[in-house]
Chains A and B, each alone.
Chain A
């Protein structure tokens, strides 16, 4: 097939060069102080990323670009995180290795086990259990109860619930006739999703609530035959937004800090103003790695990683990151369009929307385009559960990009 001639060799090599240069810079930066562990993990990163990209082109007949784009994003992220805090950088590397492993694991599990669309009740129950765990064992970090720690490892259950919501929506809309027979069938789904959003509101995890809502309304908008439900949904969102603004103080604070952060520069507006200072300080080409002051920005290695990247690597790199996300989402939509099976189509669509909305919300937040809500920038920010869930989502997207062929092989075996 003509695809053979356009194997993505060249971007893979560019990525390799980027990482080698970053490693070289690190060498000079650390001088003689460099320890074995750092060097080992650095070289490990380069090898892991290059090899996994290479292996993927061999085992998967689907899309080769999404993994490449993601590894570029994660390389930029790791360079920045390591520069801010070297111990976090090494931790991030470990998360990345587990993430890539989970990516391949998800890929193979979904490839060889069928019938994921029949487990809708399991997904719903699992989501409620995760919410329950968060409420009982959760601790408060940065205003939201969304962290659960088990034996020293903290994770955010909402990151997994995000994927479960996409699975719930996909299994619901790929089999609507089953639900239409029930009285008020379509309303059950709305009820379940709204209960999730309400629970997230109670945990004060506004960013994730917004992501859930975005995924829900977009998939509903595309697949719901009963158009008045879409209108109800938009209406409820407006009412919910107004109610949230008047009832919850933390919503109001964020909104005011967005409208005029300079007035509240000491407290509520501190994060956003520091972020803007950092971006402005960097200019088009940045200050150079290691020469800026990203430590001035609060939570710089998760939510505000983008500002730190803009400060040290320039607004051009920032634009580059936004472009990479745009290509990633575009690829996701293309995968969804060419996919034949409805369930996998909706899955691919949901995951693309997830990446798109999540990066839009946090990038818009740090640039003061929209009110700031705490979310991680997928693949770039530091964070174990965020990296792992993003890689699982990517694994699902990868399988969606080649499902047709699996189905054909299956048919062939039958004759």
Chain B
């Protein structure tokens, strides 16, 4: 009885160990992908214009936009930027019927779209430049 079980279990153990390794490698793969940038199937994203190395805090080169995203210093935001000139909740980008709108969330230093400070929700076009604090993003919508 035990022998049969032991022989059966050795196969199960090997399968589990390899599934474990596989799932960890998959998670690492996803992690690297989100670290390196965006996948090719994402069409709407923000690209950092500043040189990443010049900023003294953690920031990514690309942020993909699914539906609505918020940016701010607070950890609850989708994009967390620990810039001292950025408010806890700084701005948000909202999707509505395929169009994207930029809205300032009463930030202390304001949000600039193509150099102008915004007061209302503004529609975003491909190639727009969003500035908040020291950082500048290029909005890409292909």
* Chain A residues with a Cβ under 8 A of chain B: 1-3, 6, 8, 10-11, 14-15, 17-18, 21-22, 25, 28-29, 65, 68-69, 72, 76, 285-291, 312-314, 316-317, 320, 323-324, 327, 330-331, 404-405, 408, 411-412, 415
Interface residues of B in 1-48 (CB under 8 A from A): 1-3, 5-7, 9-14, 16-21, 23-25, 27-28, 30-31, 34
> Could you list 25 A-B pairs, sorted by A, with CB under 8 Å?
A1-B78, A8-B23, A8-B27, A14-B16, A14-B19, A21-B9, A21-B13, A25-B9, A28-B5, A29-B2, A65-B24, A65-B28, A69-B24, A288-B7, A288-B9, A291-B6, A313-B13, A314-B10, A314-B14, A317-B13, A317-B14, A327-B24, A404-B58, A411-B82, A415-B84
Q: Knowing A6-B31, A327-B25, A408-B58, say if A18 contacts B9 (CB, 8 Å).
A: no
Q: Knowing A1-B78, A11-B23, A65-B27, say if A288 contacts B6 (CB, 8 Å).
A: yes
Q: Chain B: which residue is nearest A286 at the CB level?
A: B10
Q: Number of A-B pairs whose CB atoms are under 8 Å? A: 102
- A290 shortest CB reach to chain B, Å: 6
Whether a CB of chain A sits under 8 angstroms from the CB of B73 is yes
Question: A148 vs B11: C-alpha distance in the bound complex, in angstroms?
Answer: 41
Question: A323 vs B23: C-alpha distance in the bound complex, in angstroms?
Answer: 13
Whether a CB of chain A sits under 8 angstroms from the CB of B138 is no
Q: Which residues of A contact B140 (CB under 8 A)?
A: none
Q: Which residues of B contact A316 (CB under 8 A)?
A: 14, 17-18
Q: Which residues of A contact B14 (CB under 8 A)?
A: 285, 313-314, 316-317, 320
Question: A331 vs B57: C-alpha distance in the bound complex, in angstroms?
Answer: 21
Q: Are B10 and A327 in contact (CB under 8 A)?
A: no
Whether a CB of chain A sits under 8 angstroms from the CB of B80 is yes
Interface residues of B in 77-102 (CB under 8 A from A): 78-80, 82, 84
Question: A288 vs B11: C-alpha distance in the bound complex, in angstroms?
Answer: 9
**Highest count of chain B CB atoms <10 Å: which of A22, A288, A290, A415:** A288
Q: Are B23 and A408 in contact (CB under 8 A)?
A: no
Question: A25 vs B11: C-alpha distance in the bound complex, in angstroms?
Answer: 13
Q: Besides the contacts A317-B17, A327-B25, what 5 more A-B pairs have beta carbons closer than 8 Å? A: A1-B78, A2-B34, A65-B27, A404-B58, A408-B82
Question: A291 vs B4: C-alpha distance in the bound complex, in angstroms?
Answer: 11
> Which single member of A69, A289, A327 contacts B9 (CB below 8 Å)?
A289
Q: Which residues of A contact B21 (CB under 8 A)?
A: 320, 323-324, 327
* B: interface residue count bin: 20 to 34
Q: Chain A: which residue is nearest B19 at the CB level?
A: A14
> Which single member of A1, A21, A72, A290 contacts B80 (CB below 8 Å)?
A1
Question: A14 vs B57: C-alpha distance in the bound complex, in angstroms?
Answer: 36
Question: A65 vs B25: C-alpha distance in the bound complex, in angstroms?
Answer: 10
Q: Which residues of B contact A72 (CB under 8 A)?
A: 17, 20
Q: Are A6 and B27 in contact (CB under 8 A)?
A: yes
**Highest count of chain B CB atoms <10 Å: which of A21, A316, A412:** A316
- A316 shortest CB reach to chain B, Å: 5
Q: Which residues of B contact A330 (CB under 8 A)?
A: 28
Q: Are A285 and B10 in contact (CB under 8 A)?
A: yes
- B131 shortest CB reach to chain A, Å: 20
Q: Which residues of A contact B31 (CB under 8 A)?
A: 3, 6
Question: A415 vs B12: C-alpha distance in the bound complex, in angstroms?
Answer: 56
Q: Are B17 and A21 in contact (CB under 8 A)?
A: no
Q: Which residues of A contact B20 (CB under 8 A)?
A: 11, 14-15, 18, 72
Question: A1 vs B69: C-alpha distance in the bound complex, in angstroms?
Answer: 10
Question: A154 vs B102: C-alpha distance in the bound complex, in angstroms?
Answer: 65
Question: A383 vs B43: C-alpha distance in the bound complex, in angstroms?
Answer: 54
> Which single member of A290, A312, A314 contacts B2 (CB below 8 Å)?
A290
**Highest count of chain B CB atoms <10 Å: which of A2, A6, A18:** A2
Q: Are A290 and B73 in contact (CB under 8 A)?
A: no
Question: A103 vs B87: C-alpha distance in the bound complex, in angstroms?
Answer: 36
Q: Which residues of B contact A65 (CB under 8 A)?
A: 24, 27-28
Q: Are A412 and B10 in contact (CB under 8 A)?
A: no
